[in-house]
Chain A
Amino acid sequence: MKIAITSEGNSLDSKMDSRFGRCAYFAIYDTNTKTTDFFENPAKDSPEGAGPKAVEFIASKGVKKVVAGEFGGKAKALLEKLNIEMQQEKDKTISEIIKQL
């Protein structure tokens, strides 16, 4: 299963980004291969609709679960509709989150 984690940078030591729609990067961890890929969030500079755009992006990558600090209303509704699980975390690094998954 693929899990997306919002990230401030593009390495495992980076801190998670508290924002969902406008996070800098998405770390996508694959539980089968145990590998993590980093992608720049294409929605991060969107003046509007960043949440839906970010959902679109991670869903197109086949993500089934997403970890972020908080989710906006529109993003939440879409994630629910797509059956993508949401988990809230705070202040951790990407590797810390992966360890506890």
Chain B
Amino acid sequence: MTKPMKIAIASGKGGTGKTFISTNLYNLLQKKGLNVALVDCDAEEPNARLFLTEGILKSSREVNQKVPVIDESKCTYCGKCAEYCNYNAIFFLKEPKIVNVLEEICHGCGACSVACSYGAITEKDDLLGHVSNFEFSNKSALIESRTRVGVYSSVNVLKAAIKEASGFDLVLFDAPPGIGCPFIQTVAQADYVVLVTEPTPYGLSDLKQSIETLKGMDKPYGVIVNRAGLGNDVVYDYLKKENIPLLMSIPFDKNIAVSYSKGELLTDQDSKWKEKFSELFNKVKEEYGNSNN
């Protein structure tokens, strides 16, 4: 592979099996000897590690942000810091005199410290979360982002995790659920997006939302239907009509569900599934190639 290829695996609201896909795909490619990283970008609830237990923790580091601390003995209550803050993260009142940093919405941009001409603002480190790197035998890695409980936005932590994966030939992102900032920040870094959905009306409406977002970002994508056979044809009809590639379809199978709930990897147990995930990867590569021509 010449330039690194980045694939995001995403699903609207979650619970449709994106981690099932991402962990099995990673497992297969890693065991084939590819230099691959899986980044668990679901920083609020990372769970890929539960399935990928073979990796050894190589490093874990803190992700911090600078937040302002205001020394009220030096403060003249001029209000300039609040004026400079683009995120409404400084609560300021002249009467009664109040100046208060709202740490949960502070973005750590530093504008307020520049604004203050009275030396009343210093900065302290605020822990946002951790990035952990689990190494596998052939130097492939699972890189996990995990935000500290109560942190307002997971974006900085997942970005730090994605950055850590920059040296690999192939990078897979297990994208955060939803279509908010964390999702957008993740897929923005990907070359191709794999959307996982269920063949139900609910799955379809979720899928449409994700697709709308991706269209706005001009990202190529394809769809995996999980638990096929469960619902009806609405998703398939939609894919056909919109000319969206169906990358794989996974039948609804109690054995798959049971082995997943035990934290087992299908690609370790069944050669048929190894084959299927290989095909999936080839298909993604092909689609990716087409979209980059």
Contact = CB atoms under 8 A, between A and B. Distances in A.
Interface stretch (A11-19, A45-53, A91-99): A45-53
Q: Is the interface of A mostly helix, strand, loop or mixed?
A: helix
Contacts of B98: 82
A50 B88 contact: yes
Nearest to A42: B88
A49 B89 contact: yes
Interface residues of B, number: 13
Contacts of B102: 49, 52, 74
A50 B94 CA distance: 19
Nearest to B104: A74
A7 B95 CA distance: 25
Interface string B59-91: 000000000000000000000001000011101
Contacts, number: 31
A53 B93 contact: no
A74 B102 CA distance: 9
Contacts of A50: 88
B94 A43 contact: no
19 contacts: A46-B88, A48-B87, A49-B87, A49-B88, A49-B89, A49-B102, A50-B88, A52-B105, A55-B91, A56-B91, A56-B92, A56-B93, A59-B93, A60-B95, A74-B102, A74-B105, A78-B91, A82-B93, A82-B98
Interface of A: 43, 46, 48-50, 52-53, 55-56, 59-60, 74, 78, 82
Given A52-B91, A82-B98, 17 more contacts: A46-B88, A48-B88, A48-B105, A49-B87, A49-B102, A49-B105, A50-B88, A52-B88, A53-B88, A55-B91, A56-B82, A56-B91, A56-B92, A74-B102, A74-B105, A78-B91, A82-B93
